Amino acid sequence: MSTPPHKARPAGPGRALPDTQQGMRRRNLSRVMHTVSAEGPLSRAAVASRIGLTRAAVSTLVDELIRSGLLEELGPERPGRVGRPGFALAVSGRGPAGIGAEVGVDHLAVCAVDLRGRVRFRAVRHVPNRGRSPEPVLGELTGLVERVVAEAEGEGLWPAGLAVAVPGLVARDARTVVRAPNLGWHDTDLGGLLPAGLPLTVANEANFGALAELWLGEDTPRDFLHVSAEVGIGAAVVVDGRLLHGNRGFAGELGHVPVRPEGPQCACGGRGCLEQYAGEDAVLRAAGLEPGEDRVGLLAGRAEQGDADVRDALHEAGTALGIALTGAVNLLDPESVVLGGALSGLAPWLLPSLRSELARRTAGPPCPVSVSPLGPEGPLLGAAHSVVRGVLDDPAAVAERS
Ligand SMILES: [Zn+2]
C-alpha cells in the first residue's frame, strides 16, 4: 500500500535545539526538509519564499541536504519554456528510510517507508505470540527486519532507525515493555533482543496508530482520542498535535477503565474493565464463538450475514465503548474520537450503540466518532513514519550518521 505524502505542519523541528548559530542552521535545515516534504517538488526560490530566508541562504542549506542524500533535484521545472529553468527539489526517494515493526498477538510485521512516505518493502508473518517468551518472538522479528533492510539497501535506501509497536505499556525509556498482558511479557528490555546498530524506539501500538492518523489521515484534528483494539483495547490522547504520555508514559489505558465496577475480574487486577466487554475475546465469548485466527474477519463475516448473536455482542461492545469513552470525552473535550486498528473493521456494528451511548451521556453536542481509513495498518505505518519524521525534524543528525 502506498501512503500519501506528509501533511504540512508548522515549519521547524519537533525537538528544541540550542539557540546558537549551529542550532539555527539545524533548525533551518529542518524547515527546508519539512517544506519540501509537505509541498514539494519546489524550486529553491519557492522554498526561500515559504520559509522567509534569502535564496542564497536556502541554496546553501539545500546543497548540504543534497550532499547528505536527503534532497534530490528533479529535472528542469518548466521543460519547453523559454529562459533558464529552475530545478525542482524533492525529498530523496533513496537515502534514509524508517523501519517500522509491529508485534501483534498473532502476527509480526515490518515495513520500510522512504522519506517521501511511500511503503517500499514489507514483511508479515502470522504466528500466535500469546504466551510466547520475548526471545523467540523478537528473534523472528529480527529476521523480518533484516530481510526488509536488505531489500531496502538493494534499492539505495539505508535504515535511519527502527520503531516497534507493541500491545502493552512501555516505560519512558522507549525500550522497556513494562507489561503486555496479552503476550504475557513483563519488564522486558527490547534493546538487547533486536538488531544492534539501529536507533530503537518502542511504543504502545495505540500511540503509533494515533500518530499515523495525525500525520497521514485526511483532515485529522489536532485534538482527538484514538481508540484501537486487537485483543486488548488501547487509546491514545492527542492534544494540540502531540501525544499525551502521562507521568509514567502509560496514558490511554482505556481498556482498563471500569464499565461496570462489579463486573468480571480482569487480568489487570480490576473488575468490569472495558476489555471485559469490548475486547475481541470478550466479544467472541458473548457471541458463542471460539477465539482463533482472523477474529475480526470471523465477526465481521457473521455480522454481515445477519447472525443475531454476533450483532448483539457487537451492539453490547459498542455500548461499553460508549460508556468508557464518555468519561474520556467529558474529561478531555476532544474534537473527535477515531476508531482505528482492528476495531475499524467492526465499526458498522459498533458505531450505532457507541454513538447513542456517548450522545446520551455527554453534555452538549455529541463528540463526532469517525473510523480511521488506515485501519489495522495504523500502528505499523505510525512506527515507520515516526522514524521518517525524526529525519525531517533533525536532518543534520542523520547526515552526520550517514
Ligand atoms: Zn482491566
Residues 350-391: tens digit of each pLDDT: 999 999 999 999 878 889 999 999 988 999 999 999 999 999
Which CATH class, in words, describes the domain spanning 95-210+379-401?
alpha beta
Q: What is the pLDDT of residues 79-106, one digit of tens each?
A: 555 545 568 999 999 899 999 999 998 8
Phi, psi of 185 (to 5 degrees): -100, 140
Measured in Å, residue 2 CA sits from the centre of ligand 1 at 37
Measured in Å, residue 274 CA sits from the centre of ligand 1 at 7
Measured in Å, residue 222 CA sits from the centre of ligand 1 at 29
Measured in Å, residue 51 CA sits from the centre of ligand 1 at 48
Does residue 78 register a pLDDT over 80? no
**Helices and strands (H, E) in the chain, number of each type:** 12, 15
Residue 8: what pLDDT? 42
Q: Which of 201, 177, 101, 89 is nearest to 143 (CA)?
A: 101
Using the structure block, give the residue that is written with the C-alpha cell 495504523. Answer: 378
Residue 60: what pLDDT? 95
Boundaries of every domain in the chain: 21-91, 95-210+379-401, 220-372
Residue 192: what pLDDT? 87
Cis amide leading into 373 (omega within 30) = no
- Residue 295: enclosing H or E segment and its boundaries? helix 295-304
Q: Which residues contact 102 (CB under 8 A, 6 or more apart)?
A: 108, 109, 110, 164, 165, 166, 205, 379, 380, 383
Measured in Å, residue 251 CA sits from the centre of ligand 1 at 14
Domain 220-372 sits in CATH at: 3.30.420.40
Measured in Å, residue 257 CA sits from the centre of ligand 1 at 7
Q: Give the cell for residue 323.
A: 460508556
Which CATH class, in words, describes the domain spanning 21-91?
mainly alpha
Q: Which of 170, 238, 242, 236 is nearest to 200 (CA)?
A: 170
Measured in Å, residue 230 CA sits from the centre of ligand 1 at 15
Measured in Å, residue 95 CA sits from the centre of ligand 1 at 44
Percent of the chain with pLDDT over 90: 71
Residue 229: what pLDDT? 77
Measured in Å, residue 322 CA sits from the centre of ligand 1 at 17
Q: What is the pLDDT of residues 207-265, one digit of tens each?
A: 999 999 999 988 889 999 999 877 789 899 999 999 998 888 888 999 999 999 999 99
CA–CA distance, 4 with 26 (Å, rounded to integer) = 26
Residue 18: what pLDDT? 58
Measured in Å, residue 163 CA sits from the centre of ligand 1 at 27
Q: What is the pLDDT of residues 162-208, one digit of tens each?
A: 999 999 999 989 999 999 988 999 999 999 899 888 999 999 999 99
| Band of residue 17 on the pLDDT scale cut at 50, 70, 90 | low
Measured in Å, residue 276 CA sits from the centre of ligand 1 at 7
Measured in Å, residue 382 CA sits from the centre of ligand 1 at 26
Measured in Å, residue 388 CA sits from the centre of ligand 1 at 34
Measured in Å, residue 197 CA sits from the centre of ligand 1 at 37
Residue 343 near residue 229, CB atoms below 8 Å: yes
**Radius of gyration (C-alpha) of the chain in whole angstroms:** 23
Does residue 126 register a pLDDT over 70? yes
DSSP 120-159: EEEEEEE---TT--HHHHHHHHHHHHHHHHHHHHHTTEEE
Residue 5: what pLDDT? 46
Domains 21-91 and 220-372 alike in fold: no
